Amino acid sequence: MPFVSHNPVTEVVNAQFPSLDKAALQAALANTHSAQRTWHPTYFAERTQVLQRLGAGLLARRDEFARLITEEMGKIRREARAEIEKCALLCNYYASEGEAFLVPEPIAISGARSYVTYTPIGVVLGVMPWNFPFWQVFRFAVPALMAGNGVALKHAPNVPRCALAIESLFQDAGMPAHLLTNLFVEDALVAEAIASPHVHAVTVTGSERAGRSVASLAGAHLKKCILEFGGSDPFIVLADADLEWAARQGLSSRYMNCGQACIAAKRFILTPEIADDFIRLFADRVASLKTGDPFDPAVSLGPVARKDLRDQLDLQVKAALSGGAEPLLGGHPLPGAGWFYAPTILDKITTQSPIWQQELFGPVALIVRARDEADALRLANDTPYGLGSTLWSRDSQRAEQLAQQIDAGCTFINGLVKSDPRLPFGGTKNSGFGRELSSHGIREFTNIKTVWIRSPA
């Protein structure tokens, strides 16, 4: 089956590419392993220069790459440009800090000299999603390569042109041929890649179902894996919150990238004192969103990336409405060409709602009314997911104490959740395990090795 690139606005096929068979896959992985063995002994100064060139290349061609993102998965143009710029920031961050994160660490032991080193793990297979087609790849590949590893990229099948552009960009920056290899392989062959002796670790960002399968395969072959799945992030608004600010940030957090983000606010959990006022402010802003051509600067919401994703989202919304939810806005696909869905707010969501245990990946916000502050925290944790969370309160010290009670990989207070190169990123529970970014992320893809030397007599 070929990898097909559709335009989600026009539904027209942009391009298609043949998938690799088993023999071609193994040959590609062997080439990446060979390139990694050459890359491993390079000096950090050389790797730093490559990352600097990579960041410069991204900025020089940001409009070209942003157009590619928009054409393949429908992200509005300004958000696509911001994604490219964020990738460049990541490159420069690890070019500046990567070596320091991997410096051997001495450990004082009587009668001996000992230290810990961070050596490359080998070839990292990355199974990546379509919603941030450049950022998701760069987020794992840049620190992995800075640490001396190779990268085999199995990208989502609906963004093949983005995958090819990324591969070409890394080569243009001066990395050895095949050090980052794009693999057009169908899901059935991912097991072959994991089992290959040329692959030494796996990282997955995507659905829980796919991630569980990959984790099982990695475990069977005793290969380390880092997993980042979906989320049902709580957006908790307390009685003393700045409602104007929270509503404005809530709009960005839920509807950025057409709501197709694992760290987007999904459940707006409101204490009773402010629930109606917040909903009014929030709904007014959502109603002002303009849906349409993502190349139009006036548009704030593009299409859902694929028809099957839009249809699945609509089924989830219909089930919620049948279960007692009330539509404040939207709740339906938009007519005409393209995979557009109306910006939606569903009120009266309870723990009995069919979507309580699910993730909504699209422009749909859920309103949850808590009895009080303690109930808000209970509702926030009553989910199988644990990726991000936010708390909104004018009492930052009190909010910081409450944040410790939320089961999630991160809690942002009075700001929307975002991945920042300087901060570790990852989840708990069914949102996965392991961390990306910061010093923690680059060390995930290394062998943490102890060296112990007896002092001479």
Q: What is the pLDDT of residue 210?
A: 87
Q: What is the pLDDT of residue 357?
A: 92
Bridge partners of 326, per DSSP, are 347
Q: Which helix (H) or strand (E) holds 355?
A: none
Four-CA torsion 342, 348, 351, 352, nearest 10 degrees: -90
Q: What is the pLDDT of residue 457?
A: 65
Catalytic amino acids?
A: 228, 262
Quick count: other Cβ atoms within 10 Å of Cβ 446? 20
Strands (E), 361-422: 364-369, 385-386, 390-392, 412-413
Q: What is the pLDDT of residue 384?
A: 96
DSSP labels for 211-225? HHHHHHHHHHTT-EE
The pair of structure tokens assigned to 57 is: 């290349």
> Tokens 């099982």, residue?
216
Bridge partners of 54, per DSSP, are none
Angle, CA 418 vertex, CA 413 and CA 423 arms, to 5°? 85
Q: What is the pLDDT of residue 426?
A: 98
Q: What is the pLDDT of residue 1?
A: 66
Residue 245 to residue 413: CA distance in whole angstroms: 12
| List of the chain residues with pLDDT < 50 | none
Q: What is the pLDDT of residue 111?
A: 84
The pair of structure tokens assigned to 427 is: 């989840």
All domains of the chain in start order, with CATH = 3-229+431-454 (3.40.605.10), 233-420 (3.40.309.10)
